[in-house]
Structure 1
Amino acid sequence: MLYEALLLLGVLAFAFLLPQMILGMMTKTLPPGWVSLMHVFGVLGLYFYVLWGRNGQTLAMQTWRLQIVDAQSGKLPNASQRLMRYVLSWPSLLFFGAGLIWSLFDRDGQFLHDRFAGTCVVLLPGRPGE
């Protein structure tokens, strides 16, 4: 998650900060806080939704050979599962990581947002020679 957060700093710098700075310089105003929060929510949502749909992996997940799959079929998650997983991951993290801590007690070791979205994180086989 730390590696993912570092990569997300770059995504947010490009897709959030840059437009906010340009808008601020052009209009000499800043959008209300709730607009900025929705901008962040949208930028991150698009990042996760698109990458999970492409191959079930974000950039950081590719490094660690992790993949999001449908818990029943093992295939890539469908559109509603990706959206639900993203939306539910926010409270999972923001309530002091309760949805992550849940995985310590879950019978399958799943995060709470994965349980509700019908997805799971799997470890892909290693490369030959590892």
Structure 2
Amino acid sequence: MTESSRGAAGDDAPGVARRLACFIYEGVLLFGVVFISGYLYSTLTQQRHAMQGQHGLQAFLFIVLGIYFVWFWSHGGQTVAMKAWHIRVVDNQQRPLGQWRALARYVLSWLWFLPALLSVWLLGLHGLGAIFGSLFAGVLAYAALAWLHPQRQFLHDAICGTRLITQRPVKR
């Protein structure tokens, strides 16, 4: 293990592949959160058509996901997927995140998707294959940026002053 990939307190930084695996697992878990939240929104607003109130639904889901991530990151530094992959988010001094830093990390973590979504919108793409292909390429390009950072951190972590570390379970 090189010194550049180790945390300040000696905690190992998880590899990019392990962080991407956690990212995929997080997406699977969030499917349930989004499904239940969307059902709640459509029930409360009596939405009868998928295109009716879609911007309100998107804003609602953005807030729900923000609450999910900010709460988990500021209360223990791990979401459910991060616990499964033994990854924890801390600040650069290895301290737990406060709610404001967790909120900033959540907002900036949308950098994973915004360039691809912007390109889809600017190019006027409508096919599912083109949209998912653009998102997939955008996520891979964003992940590849981590190899340019000395500690292999993602861009939003570098901007927010946060880092991911390996958090192994305590042996009894």
The TM tier, using the shorter chain, reads 0.7 to 0.9
Q: Which runs of 5+ in 1 are unaligned?
A: none
Aligned equivalents of 2:30, 2:55: Cα separation in 1? 20
Is the counterpart of residue 63 in structure 1 residue 84 in structure 2? yes
Residues 1-130 of structure 1 mapped to structure 2, 5 A cutoff? 1-14=23-36, 16-23=37-44, 26=46, 28=48, 31-71=52-92, 73-95=93-115, 96-97=138-139, 98-126=141-169, 128=171
Question: Is this contact kept in 2: 1:53–1:82, CA < 8 A?
Answer: yes
Task: Encode CA deviations 1:67-125: one digit per residue, 9 max, x unaligned.
Answer: 00001x20111222111110011123332124422111110100000001110000113
Question: Is this contact kept in 1: 2:38–2:57, CA < 8 A?
Answer: no
With structure 1 as the length reference, what TM-score do the two structures score?
0.85
Task: Encode CA deviations 1:40-73: one digit per residue, 9 max, x unaligned.
Answer: 11111000000001100000000111000001x2
Q: Which runs of 5+ in 2 are unaligned?
A: 1-22, 116-137
Please say which structure displays the higher CA radius of gyration. Answer: 2
With structure 2 as the length reference, what TM-score do the two structures score?
0.66
Aligned equivalents of 1:27, 1:128: Cα separation in 2? 50
Aligned equivalents of 1:27, 1:81: Cα separation in 2? 35
Question: Is this contact kept in 2: 1:114–1:120, CA < 8 A?
Answer: yes
Structure having greater relative contact order (Cα 8 Å, sep ≥ 6)? 2
Aligned equivalents of 2:168, 2:65: Cα separation in 1? 28
- Of residues 74-83 and 49-58 in structure 1, the stretch that sits farther from structure 2 once superposed is 74-83
| Overall identity of the aligned pairs, in % | 30
Equivalent residue letter for 1:7: L
Question: Aligned-pair RMSD on alpha carbons?
Answer: 2.1
